[in-house]
Amino acid sequence: MAQMVEFAKMNGLGNKILVIDMRGRSDRVTPQAAIALAADPATVFDQIMAIHDAKLAGTDAYIDILNCDGTKAQACGNGTRCVVQALAAETGRKAFTFQTVAGILNAQEHQDGTISVDMGNPVFAWDKIPLSEEFYDTSRIELQIGPIDAPVLHSPAAMSMGNPHAVFWVDRDPMTFDLERFGPLLENHPMFPEKANITLAQVISPIEMVTRTWERGAGLTLACGSAACAAGVSGARTGRTERKVDIIVASSPQRGRLSIEWREDDHVLMSGPAEWEWSGRVDPLTGGFERDAMPEAGVS
C-alpha cells in the first residue's frame, strides 16, 4: 500500500469534488483509485483535484484532474474553487496561480468567501474544440436529437473552455428534459472525437440563464463550472445575453448561482462558492481511505 495522503471532500454548488494533496510526491492518483473512490457512497465524486508541486516558476501548484471514471479532465472550474478554499484555509493566502493541462489559472478568494477563477480564453475554432466536421461558425452547428422535423434538441453552440462543450438552447426549465437519456448519446456523438460536455441552457433575461449539464466522464452532475462558462460565453456570442450573466445551476442544491463574465480581454471570469464537508487520508494507489476523527477544513 502506498503511503496515505491527506484529502478533503468538498463541493462547488453541489459539484462533488475530492481535493487530494499529492505535494512532495512523484506518484499520481491512479485511475483505479479514482474508480474505487467513486464507487463508495462516502466518497462518490465528479472530479478529483490532485494538488502536486509546482512545475513552473511563478505558479503555486500543478493540478491533476480526474473524472469519476478514471479518465483525465482538462478543466474543472468548481473544483478549482475548492482547491483555492482548501489552500486559503491552510496558508491564509487569498490569491493563487495554478498550472493545469488546459493552461494557467489565476484564482482569488474574496472577503465574502466567494472565489473567482480566471478560466482563460474560450476557443471557437472547429478543429481546436475539437469537432470531427468543419464548421465556419461554431456558434450554431448541425446536430440534433429527436425527429428530423421536430427535434427535441438542435443546433448547439460548440466551443472549448479547456475541454469541449456543446450548449443547446431550450425554451423551458432544463430539468424537464430527459438529459439522463440524451446525455450519453451526445457526449459520445461522432461529432466530438474527444467527447463533450453537454449543457441545456434556458435564457431568462439578458443577464440570467438556467443550465443543466451532462458532464463528460462524469455523467449527470449537480454543477459544472466550465459548462457554466461555456453557456455564459455562448449566450453573449449569439446575442442572447450580455457579457456578464448569472447562471442558475438547475440541478444544484437550492438552484445555486455562478457569475460568469466574458471580459473584453477575452478571458472568462467565473465566481461562486465552495464548501468543505469533511477530510481524511487516502491511498492514491488503491483508493482506500479513512476519515479524520476530528476533521478540520482544508488540506495541509
Q: Is residue 31 part of a domain?
A: yes
114 & 178 share domain: no
40 and 112 co-located in one domain: yes
What's the number of domains the chain is made of?
A: 2
Residue 240 belongs to a domain: yes
9 & 103 share domain: yes
Rounded to whole angstroms, how far apart are CA atoms 244 and 247?
A: 10
Q: Please, what's the b/e burial string for 84-120 (b: 16 or more CB within 10 A of its CB; e: otherwise)?
A: bbbbbbeeeeeebebbbebeebbbbbeeeebbbbbbb
Whether 299 is in a domain gets the answer: no
Say whether both 161 and 109 belong to one domain: no
Residues 6 or more apart whose Cβ sits within 8 Å of residue 57: none
Q: Where does residue 10 rank: exposed (0-12), middle (13-18), buried (19+ CB within 10 A)? A: buried
CA–CA gap between residue 41 and residue 39 (Å, rounded): 6
Q: Do 114 and 174 fall within a single domain?
A: no
**Residue 22: CATH number of its domain:** 3.10.310.10
The backbone torsions φ and ψ at residue 195, rounded to the nearest 5 degrees and listed phi first, read 65, 180
What is the set of active-site residues? 76, 224
191 shares a domain with 174: yes
Q: Does this model's pTM top 0.95?
A: no
pLDDT, tens digit only, all 300 positions of the chain: 568 999 999 999 999 999 999 999 999 999 999 999 999 999 999 999 999 999 999 999 999 999 999 999 888 899 999 999 999 999 999 999 999 988 899 999 999 999 999 999 999 999 999 999 999 999 999 999 989 888 999 999 999 999 999 999 999 999 999 999 999 999 999 999 999 999 999 999 999 999 999 999 889 988 899 999 999 999 999 999 999 999 999 999 888 999 999 999 999 999 999 999 999 999 999 999 999 986 555 554
173 and 70 share a domain? no
Contact 155, 143 (CB under 8 A): yes
Whether 132 is in a domain gets the answer: no
The reply to whether 231 and 286 lie within a common domain is: no
Residue 9 sits in the same domain as residue 116: yes
The domain in which residue 163 lies consists of 144-266
